[in-house]
């Protein structure tokens, strides 16, 4: 397997580049709900509807103070090996020996302070809001071997009245290890609530992005930007 290789000069440069790239693409990263903080480790699982999802979790982890890692298909990580510098580590789906090795490695990571191991249990990209979700058992197994708090997150990309899209994150209720049905129920609940959002009311911006033309014009005219 390919292990995470966070840190070093290249890692710092890459971290800064990803932050700049994210801020230039979006108006902001907005969260509704309480992001877990503190020294405890956690397993974070989310829906997967967009190429940006991994970078969203990266930015979210920085905002929350997590030492974040993310499970990634080995074929893709081998192709984009630099992502290991941001905390990606691999699994070869369908291979029992690879799955066992990845589980053991994830368990090691979850023994570290502030560690957050992130996984997209759908196993591939799916359109946002299509229910029911179809989750693979990896998230259940990771929770059982890690025995840490499990945090469901729903991620949505939304255009409201602004030129640039906003990234919305709904934080579900943290829970312990359990059957796969529990994970599916919690994640579907978060996705359903997020799908009903028609604006940014109730959300807090944790990462600021770029302004559109209208917002820049308002700033020149001395008008306060809208949320």
pLDDT at 13: 95
- The reply to whether 149 falls in a domain is yes
66 phi, psi to nearest 5 deg = -85, 155
Report if residue 226 sits inside a domain.
no
Q: How many domains does the chain have?
A: 1
Structural domain includes residue 102: yes
- The residue segments making up the domain with residue 26 are 8-220
Per the prediction, the chain carries an average pLDDT of 92
Q: Is the dihedral of CA 71, 4, 157, 32 positive or negative?
A: positive
Residue 2 in domain: no
In a domain, 158, yes or no: yes
Q: What is the CATH number of the domain that holds 34?
A: 3.40.1130
What pLDDT digit, counting tens, does each position of 158-206 carry?
998 888 999 999 999 999 999 999 999 999 999 999 999 999 999 999 9
At residue 161, the pLDDT reads 81
- pLDDT tens for 17-67 read 999 999 999 999 999 999 999 899 999 999 999 999 999 999 999 999 999
Give the residue from 163, 153, 151 showing the smallest Cα distance to 191: 153
What predicted TM-score, i.e. pTM, was given to this entire model? 0.92
Does 227 fall in a domain? no
Residue 225 lies in a domain: no
Residue 3 located in a structural domain: no
């Amino acid at each position: 397997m390919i292990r995470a290789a966070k840190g070093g000069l290249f890692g710092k440069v890459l971290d800064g580049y990803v932050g700049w790239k994210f801020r230039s693409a979006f108006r902001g990263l907005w969260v509704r709900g309480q992001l877990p903080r503190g020294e405890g480790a956690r397993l974070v699982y989310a829906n997967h509807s967009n190429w940006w999802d991994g970078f969203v979790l990266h930015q979210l982890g920085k905002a929350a103070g997590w030492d974040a890692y993310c499970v990634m298909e080995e074929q893709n990580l081998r192709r984009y090996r630099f992502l290991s510098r941001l905390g990606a580590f691999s699994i070869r789906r369908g291979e029992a020996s690879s799955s066992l090795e990845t589980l053991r490695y994830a368990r090691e990571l979850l023994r570290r302070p502030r560690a957050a191991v992130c996984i997209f249990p759908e196993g591939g990209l799916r359109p946002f809001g299509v229910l029911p979700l179809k989750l693979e058992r990896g998230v259940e197994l990771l929770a059982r071997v890690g025995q840490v708090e499990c945090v469901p997150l729903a991620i949505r990309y939304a255009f409201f009245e602004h030129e640039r899209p906003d990234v919305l994150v709904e934080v579900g209720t943290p829970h312990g290890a359990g059957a796969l049905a529990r994970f599916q129920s919690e994640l579907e609940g978060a996705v359903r609530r997020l799908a009903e959002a028609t604006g940014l009311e109730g959300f807090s911006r944790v990462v600021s992005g770029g302004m559109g033309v209208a917002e820049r014009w308002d700033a020149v005219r001395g008008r306060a930007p809208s949320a």
